[in-house]
Amino acid sequence: MATKLKDDYKDMIESVKTNGGFYVGKYELGKDSSNNPQVKPGTVMNKTDWYNLYKACKSFSNENVESRMVWGCQWDQICRFIKGSGVNTIIDESSS
């Protein structure tokens, strides 16, 4: 799993370089009545571990879109973007 995560991180870095940034979708990961992952309104996926959430996010990838959980460095960039946009917020970075 560590090798897969490392490869995914490298892929994300290359994608950001190639595309000049990244897109954040506004979707919450949930589950249907059969406990299968879904991205439309449903029961929130909880009582599971990070690895199961990671696999569930990856299951929505296709030939056009790579779906995954946001990396910490991406979250920090999102916080910087929001802070620099003039929105009245106290977001500085992910550690706070």
> What digits encode the pLDDT tens for the residues 24-76?
877 777 787 777 777 766 677 777 888 888 888 888 888 888 888 888 899 88
Q: Which residues share a beta bridge with 38?
A: 30
Residue 86 lies in a domain: yes
Residue 88 lies in a domain: yes
Which whole-number Å values give the CA distances from 13 to 9, 61, 67, 71, in the listed order? 6, 17, 14, 10
Same domain? For 73 and 93 the reply is yes
Number of domains present in the structure of the chain: 2
pLDDT bracket for residue 10 (50, 70, 90): very high
Length of the chain counted residue by residue: 96
Residue 32 lies in a domain: yes
Same domain? For 33 and 50 the reply is yes
Residue 93 lies in a domain: yes
Which residue from 89, 37, 77 is spatially nearest to 61, judged by alpha carbons? 37
Bigger pLDDT: 9 vs 33: 9
Range of the domain at 40: 25-60
Residue 18 lies in a domain: no
Give the global pTM: 0.69
